[in-house]
Amino acid sequence: MATTEYVLSSLTDLDRHIGVMAAASGPEEVVEAVSAYLAAWSRDRIRNLQKVDGGWGPFDENQRLAPLQGIGDISRIADSMRRQCAGLRDMGIEPTPELLELDLFFFFAREVMEAHAPSGRSAPAGPRHGYVHWSDRRGTGASA
């Protein structure tokens, strides 16, 4: 169970990363800010996330960050995290603090992306060859 100090430290770190992301001047800086936030996650936090993320988090089976290629990856991860949280709640399971934090962070990331989209349009999904979930490579023989 997470201690109060751990949760406060995590929220302070989250706030700092959201501030960096909000100050981004374009999509590339948003992707860099998201990557930096995810790179700061400890193996323990990643393992806790992976207990309930259904395999759809941005980390592979070895707790390594899957590279983000563009804003489309951010959108796909945001959708995955939102669906996983909803699915767990539908089953009567409360998402872990790590999953909730990731869901919140990617909600803000999507909002920042929208702010950088051309007026009247949502942010483009980006190329489909970008973010590939680690489990998608199992049957293809591709390596991580």
**Distance of alpha carbon 59 from alpha carbon 50, whole angstroms:** 8
Longest dimension (CA), the chain: 45
Domain annotation covers residue 12: no
Number of domains in the chain: 1
Domain annotation covers residue 15: no
Range of the domain at 44: 27-117
Domain annotation covers residue 113: yes
**DSSP string for residues in 17-44:** HHHHHHT-SSHHHHHHHHHHHHHT--HH
Domain annotation covers residue 42: yes
> What is the residue-level pLDDT of the chain in tens, covering all 144 positions?
555 555 556 667 888 888 888 888 888 999 999 999 999 999 999 998 998 888 888 999 889 998 888 888 999 999 999 999 999 999 999 999 999 999 999 999 999 988 887 654 444 444 444 445 545 544 444 443
Residue 121: count other Cβ atoms within 10 Å of its Cβ.
8
pTM: 0.74
